[in-house]
Structure 1
């Protein structure tokens, strides 16, 4: 009976430990197998992807993945918990694919990105670069002038 109790206790511990997800930081991406939470395109470009971790304060945080920082910014703005203390925004550094804090990243314009917002994030400051607030304004300007002019959200912007 003791052995059965020990096995049950160990099994319960292992199941609990394995089922817990990190409550902070970016999550692993299954490239080409996951879809953008906003536009439903495949998350495949390792240079321009983004993630948002957050959710209502009465629940465990959840990770949402995006094919472009533009999709993440616009999607997050519609969430009531967007400014909550548990809300994190991550973006890949376009130079090396490492995940960095999107709110402290520097952004350069003129990049060819999956959804044509044209922003590349990097971990260190760059002359003429944009901070997160300026990058967000840039995203909304592109959304209003380019995407709306062409009849909505663009999906094949590499051409």
Structure 2
């Protein structure tokens, strides 16, 4: 029994890489990260790329990372002082971080957590604004919902 405990202790504490849940931003701008260096605060998945990622910067400079726009929405809907949080989203069309409140969101993209909302700087057909995107996520109208996924795939 003691050997099992020691093995588990070793594997868990010694064998784990340090993965950060947050970093700091001094100027309120998005933070650069390396693949596998940070994880999503909502689903705890490691971020391997900027594609589909988002960042929330709190008033104290703490930066929270998200691997999927849907994770950002789920987290954001539970925040109290929403207007004090800076939100950045990496766009599929211009491949840069922009203000998430100004982005357009289109259902049907392949995203890490399969919520299916791609973010765009320029409006594309079928895209909705930030508030409608949040409302759709709150209602469960995303690609993780089998009824929505089926209806969406039938339209193609």
Q: Same fold (TM over 0.5)?
A: yes
Contact 1:89 1:103 in 2 (8 A): yes
Contact 1:117 1:142 in 2 (8 A): no
1:94 deviates by: 1.4
Q: 1:42 aligns with which of 25, 41, 46?
A: 46
1:21 deviates by: 4.3
Equivalent residue number for residue 121 of structure 1:
119
1:29 deviates by: 2.0
Q: Helix, strand or coil for the counterpart of 1:83?
A: helix
Equivalent residue number for residue 135 of structure 1:
133
**1:8-27 to 2 correspondences below 5 Å:** 21-27=25-31
Contact 1:45 1:114 in 2 (8 A): no
**RMSD (Å) for aligned C-alpha atoms:** 2.5
Equivalent residue number for residue 90 of structure 2:
92
> Which has the higher Rg, Structure 1 or Structure 2?
1
TM-score, with structure 2 as normaliser: 0.69
Distance in 2 (alpha carbons) for counterparts of 1:125 and 1:131? 9
Q: 2:36 aligns with which of 22, 32, 38?
A: 32
TM-score, with structure 1 as normaliser: 0.68
Distance in 1 (alpha carbons) for counterparts of 2:142 and 2:88? 24
Structure 1 segments (4+ residues) deviating >6 Å:
none
Distance in 2 (alpha carbons) for counterparts of 1:115 and 1:42? 11
